[in-house]
Structure 1
């Protein structure tokens, strides 16, 4: 078990901790849940860095890392949809989670074709992830009614993440389109 894989597993272990702390009826629950999510975001960056720098990439890590990321983000968004109970929050949350499902399926399918590299993570995806992490941390820390300015910053970065989410999905789908479109009957492959 490599250090990179241990960090990925830690991110999964932090999910129930995030849920528990989020619902604690104490004043510090907002700060604590933001800190837990921040730790998860740091491990997301650190496990990839360590895996590349120290040649610790493993098939298990390649599978588990994106799963851990998606589980943590989806969990945080579901928690936040409850406290930001409005369509204005639910729409970007659904866009982000829906895109993750679509791209995960696309990557799996492209891997079956031996063309996983066609849908590798792009720079837009990295910027999207940064916006997503910032927005979730801000919104976990500043619950509705606490600080209107910070809530707006959280919403703006969440919408920016959702826009980048759609943009990166279009890029991935365009890259995979030659393999997605149906073959013409009788055409050679």
Structure 2
């Protein structure tokens, strides 16, 4: 944790970027519902910006030695809140099981893994369910898919919408895979 004149500071650049991500959620929702032709693209840009700040804040925290306990707590919360908000808006806009099923799987996985990490932390084994490479790939594919879906009208005649759906299903598969990786790592503790 960064020290300033003998005191720990929580207002680090990475933490500010994480707080910005959280603050962007209501802005994102309002922009999504604006009755203008550009609102879908603007919402997608806000979502993509949030995804980029997720990567940047983690990079800066490591590079600048500004990792904090607050940041470690808020970072995954900010990600999950933004993804859940985007998926909820997309489920309404697309109004199809084709989108509802992966949205439910992704949100359910996030809740399950968060609960698993919390429980593992209580038993002193949090490190065994740290973010994996599969989890990072899942997040990247998921962000690209959601951005593509947000940027386009839910018209299945556009190849970009089909590609975004395909990527969302790839992200859903990676979501289940990464959850199984975490559950496998936690299984020795869970079966006691």
TM-score class, shorter-chain normalisation, is over 0.9
Distance of 1:84 and 1:144 partners within structure 2: 6
Matches for 1:91-106 after TM superposition, within 5 Å: 91-106=101-116
Structure 1 stretches of 4+ moved >3 Å: none
1:186 aligns to what? none
Q: What is the CA distance between 1:88 and its match in structure 2?
A: 1.1
Distance of 1:85 and 1:97 partners within structure 2: 17
Matches for 1:146-185 after TM superposition, within 5 Å: 148-182=158-192
**TM-score (norm: length of structure 2):** 0.93
Q: Which runs of 5+ in 2 are unaligned?
A: 1-10
CA RMSD of aligned residues (A): 0.9
Q: What is the CA distance between 1:145 and its match in structure 2?
A: 2.1
Query: Is the counterpart of residue 2 in structure 1 residue 33 in structure 2?
Result: no
Distance of 1:56 and 1:105 partners within structure 2: 26
Q: Which runs of 5+ in 1 are unaligned?
A: 183-189
Distance of 2:21 and 2:73 partners within structure 1: 14
Matches for 1:114-153 after TM superposition, within 5 Å: 114-145=124-155, 148-153=158-163
Count of aligned pairs = 182
